[in-house]
Amino acid sequence: MQTIWREVGERGSGNRRALGRNGRATAPVMIGVLILAALFRPLHTFAQGDDEAEYQVKLAFLYNFAQFVNWPPEAFRNSSAPLEMCVAGQDPFRGEIEDSLRSRLVGGHPIEVKRLKANDDPKSCHIIFVRAGDKRLSERILAAVRGSNTLTVGESKGFTDVGGVINLTREENKLRFEINLDIASQTRLKISSKLLALAKIVKTPP
């Protein structure tokens, strides 16, 4: 089968990677996708039950969110400290694609992907991806990081209504995302206008 090529880059630095034989992007492609060119326009479409491909793209979303969010300097121990990307719940990102992410930088910071354990302080994470399916865990995480410098990203209906900053949604088998500006304003994070322009903006219900 003919190899499919896609132009990808990171903030203006372009390179070229191949998609796999089955049309599914290999790990370097999914992580290296430029947010404006290849990841969000057009948004990816999935068949029902294609969980592996969906979570590959969700991890690429997380990486690109990090590229367009600024943390205050005090959020890091030093200029070379890692950006901690935590997963609350079962980690769906294991394997080649997660290993590829570990070799990349965000604002000069290496990325550390880890599963959030029961005794871990959620505020130590720069990004927390909250898996769907455990409402109590989601509520506990959101309560613990409220007003902190942690970017919370979920994948369940109503996540931004109960205190999450960003929620990945699936509409007609397409991945989209929404941002709650009310919750974002309670953090010290600065979200790029380019990211906001691509999001569905929601507010906390009265």
Complete DSSP assignment for the chain: -PPPEEEEEETTEEEEEEBPTTSPBPHHHHHH--IIIIISSSPPB--TT-HHHHHHHHHHHHHHHHHTEE--GGGSSSTT--EEEEEESS---TTHHHHHHHT-EETTEEEEEEEPPTTS-GGG-SEEEE-TT-HHHHHHHHHHHTTSS-EEEE-STTTGGGT-SEEEEEETTEEEEEEEHHHHTTSS-EE-HHHHHHSEEE----
Q: Mean pLDDT in the chain?
A: 77
- pLDDT tens digits, one per residue of 143-179: 999 989 999 999 999 999 999 999 999 887 788 999 9
Q: What pTM was estimated for this model as a whole?
A: 0.78
* Owning domain of residue 172: 5-202
Domain count across the chain = 1
